[in-house]
Structure formats: C-alpha cells, structure tokens
Structure 1
C-alpha cells in the first residue's frame, strides 16, 4: 500500500505538491492523472525517496521507502526508461541490479522472458528502441518480485502488441494482490486498465475514486435519439429548450440532444406521435470529464493568452 498524507514539495517560490493526501491500495490498478505541471513526477519521486518532501509524508507498506533495505524487493518502479547505461547488455544491466539488491540471478532470465526480451538479452541497450527500453524498465521493476509497483508513462514508444501486453500485465499483477500505481496521459489506457483514479491539479487533489465515478462527474450529458422523422423531432425538442445536433450521414443520422433528459424526450415524441428507434443517455467519457474537471489546473493553454 502507498499512503500520501499532507505531502508538500516546494522548489524555491514554486509549490509543486500542495498538502496532497491519497491512498493506493493493493489488488487494483490505480491511475495517476493530472495536467502537465500538476506535480505527478514530484510526487512519484518523493514516494521513491529520490526527493525529500518539504512537508507531510509518503510511505510504502507503512514506512518511508528509504527505510526498506534492498528496495527492489519492496517496490519496483519505472520512471524514465532512458536512464540506463547504453553500453551494457540487458542481461548485464539486470544482473548488476540483482546483485546490489540481493536478488537471485535466476530472476534475470525470468523477467527477460516476461518482458519479451529473451532474444535480445545480450544486445547492447544503446541499440534498443524506445519500446524495448520500456520493456527493460518493466523487467527491472519486476526483478525483486515486489508487492508494490509504480510506472510513469510506461506505454511511450510501445506498439499495439506491446500496449496490450502491458495492459494485461498490470491487471494480472493487481489480481495477484499487488499495489499497482500507473501514471499516464493516455485516457484510453486508463479506461482500459485502471480500476481507481487519483487526479491532481496544481499539486492538489481533485479526485480519488473509481474510473466510472470520475467519468460520471462530467456534466456533459447528452441523449442520442434515432427516428425516421429527424427534422420533425429536432424542431419539437428545440422548441422545448433543448440543444440539438445532427450526428452521422444522411439516411442514418441521429440526434444528439442536450438540455433535456431521456424521459422528457420520450414523452415529447409520444405526444407528437413521432416514432423512436433509439433513446440512449450518453455520459461524459473519461477524457471529457478529465478535461472539464482539470480545466482550472492547466498550466499551459495552447493558443490562449495567459
């Protein structure tokens, strides 16, 4: 388990993390989201003992990470896949880390196989693609068979097969009862992989809840309606105060209605004897909810004056 309590980190006059509190529990994949500059990397570095907090605490299994001897047996992490010695082979890199953490060398072959790098074990890392380096970083995180795993943007440079492998890996690790903490900007990956979310902005907590609950907080609800009488229904709904847009090609067009609930739309169609083929409430997607709920926390807005 990872526990962050009133965590604060300042760099001079800049507050990167501001009294942040959350818990990452075992048995599930927890996504870590926030706009650029939200304080995610600073938080991860503090959890791993790479930076000292200005205030508050961050603990792994009840104690600061630095209190764990042979840290890779307790926490496996991938923060930057490029931070490896390019002149070494994958097997030499992992073997050196295993020795320094008292990990049996047989684990090197195990994690290389797990990461799909067995055939590249003796190749120099400088010749690896970004996706291969990401796989090597994950192999390193798995080396000590730890109960807690942390990954920062792990799918960068991955091809579709690699993304699918990684998604299945994270879910399997969580199913084994491990704590899996995953930072990513890819909303599609969070929707397909994460169970819970921790969302921050400007160093402060915005939400700590399930993916479904967070998406439901978006206010952009709409109703999709299909009818043979598109123009007639659009006029009725507009007169009732709804905002109506046409979606799809002519002949198969649907109405996307905002401002009226499905029940009211159905009643209006019934009163006007308009046949409905579909009446579906559409909730905000995870990406829409994220953009809406973090809008006030975005540090850099492209094309907009500050």
Structure 2
C-alpha cells in the first residue's frame, strides 16, 4: 500500500506539489491522472525516495523509503538506460544487486516479449521495446508494489492490450499497482480507481465510475415511433433534446426515469430508454479545467522548474513496437 500525507515540493517560489494526501490500496489498478505539469512525476519520485519532499511524507507498506526491487518495482523513464548494454546484461546487473538468479532475468524477458532480442544493444531499441524492458525491470524482484509512469507510450495496439492484461493480473494477485498517464481512454480501459491532481493539488480520489459520473455529460438515449411528439413533451419539462436521426433522441437535463414517466403519461411508445454516463475524458476536462498549466491560445510562459528536470528524453530508433522473434 502507498500512503501519501500532506506531500509538498517547492522549487524556490514555485510549488510543484502542494499538500497531497491519498492512499493507493492493493488489489486495484489505480490511475494517477492530471494535466501536463500537474506534478505527477515529481510525486512519483518523492514516493520512491528519489526526490526529497519539502514537507509531508510518502510511505510504501509503512516504510518511508522503498527497500529495493523485491519490495517495489517502478518504470519512470524508459529512455533512462545505458544504450551500450544488451537487455540481458542490463537486467542481470539489476538482478545481481538484489541476489536474484539468472533464470529470473530469462523469465521476465520472456514475459515482456523480449526474449528474442535479449542480446541486442538497447541503443537500437524502439521506444516500445524500451517500455517493455522497463516493465521487465519493474517485475524483476516480483514486488508487491508497482509504479509505472506513462507505460503505454510507444506501444503498438498488441502491446497496449498486453500491458492492460498485465496490470489487471498484477492487481488480481493482490499487488498495489499505480499507473500514471495522460491518456484518458487508456485509463478508462485499465484503471479501477483514480487519483486526479492539478497544479500539485488533489482534485479527486475515487472509483473510475464515481469520477466519470461527476461530469455533466450524462444523457439519456431514447428511441420512439413518435420522436417529434416526445421531444416536444420533454422540452416543456426543461430538457435539451437532440434528434439523432430516425427514431432516436438524445436527452440531457432529465433522468431516464423521468423521461420514461413522461412518455408513459402521454402514452408514447418507447423502443429504447438508456442512460449514458459522461465519459472519463469529459469528466476529466471539466474537473481539471481550472488546473491546467497551459491551454491552447495561452501566451508562452517563461522557463521554470520543469516537472521532469534532469531526466533524459526517451530515444526512438525504429518502429514504435517490436514483436518477440522479429528478425530485425
């Protein structure tokens, strides 16, 4: 379990993280969301003990600092590896440091689909291959706590499906899984719970369904042989009604129960009556609107302390993804 209490990080006059408090529990995939510059990577680094907080605390299973790869595995930057090493050598060096046998390296390379390129130099890997290698390193010590920062970047559709299944399996095994991402569609398909931050402050900590329900995009889809008559009835009740062609209407401003009640009262037949919740993306855009660091049309901001200060950008050399056994 990850526990964050009043976590704050300041760089001079700039506050990157401001009084964050949340808990990430085992048995779930927890998505860590926020606009660019929200402080996600800074928070992850403080949880891992790589950055020292200005105030507050972060613990993993009650420890203020992670106790090695057997206790917590993390992927923060897929490009932060020595390009001259082979994948096998990179993982063997990590394994030796925590007393793991060489067969464990072979196991994780096989699990992430890199067994066929284990002796290739990492400098020739695509971003997707580096992501797989970073995930292999996180899994190496078979830890109960796992943290991933933007793990989907560079993966092809097959790789995305694979990593979704991996995260769900890890959570089903009772592990704590925290995944930071800016891809709403990916979190919608992967996460059970969400921690959402903006400008370094907590916006929400709840289930994915609960967060999505807070958006105002909820609507009702209704199909009827009398769409014009039903639209008139619903409009008189203050609903916004949008014809969808044929016999379908989209209704906002009234619940599905109220739409059905009004239709019954006027003896209007319904073929379909289905509530539609707001999408995660809609809820995210609405609830983080006042917390975005930059918006389209904003004037350029002067350079300041970057959220990823000191980190190398991932290198890409070749196709976005790689299949094990590919002869490249």
Match of 1:150 among 147, 152, 160: 147
Structure 1 distance, partners of 2:236, 2:162, is: 51
> What is the aligned partner in structure 1 of residue 269 from structure 2?
275
Offset at 1:110?
Answer: 0.7
> What is the aligned partner in structure 1 of residue 156 from structure 2?
159
Please tell me whether residue 184 in structure 1 is matched to residue 181 in structure 2. Answer: yes
Match of 2:236 among 239, 251, 260: 239
Moved more, 162-171 or 276-285: 276-285
* TM-score of the pair, normalised by structure 1: 0.93
Match of 1:217 among 214, 218, 221: 214
Q: Residues 1-306 of structure 1 correspond to what in structure 2 (within 5 A)?
A: 1-65=1-65, 68=67, 71-247=68-244, 250-251=245-246, 253-303=247-297
Structure 2 distance, partners of 1:191, 1:94, is: 32
Greater relative contact order structure (CA < 8 Å, 6+ sep):
2
CA RMSD, Structure 1 to Structure 2 (Å): 1.6
1:102-139 deviations in Å (ceiling 9; x for gaps):
22222110100010100010111111111111000000
Structure 2 distance, partners of 1:129, 1:121, is: 14
> What is the aligned partner in structure 1 of residue 321 from structure 2?
none
Structure 1 distance, partners of 2:101, 2:64, is: 25
SS in 2 for 1:86: coil
Structure 1 distance, partners of 2:168, 2:137, is: 18
**Structure 2: which 5+ runs fail to align?**
301-328
Moved more, 238-247 or 90-99: 238-247
Structure 2 distance, partners of 1:166, 1:61, is: 24
* TM-score of the pair, normalised by structure 2: 0.87
Q: Pick the structure with more helix per residue.
A: 1
SS in 2 for 1:22: strand
Structure 1 distance, partners of 2:14, 2:80, is: 26
Structure 2 distance, partners of 1:282, 1:267, is: 18
Offset at 1:40?
Answer: 0.5
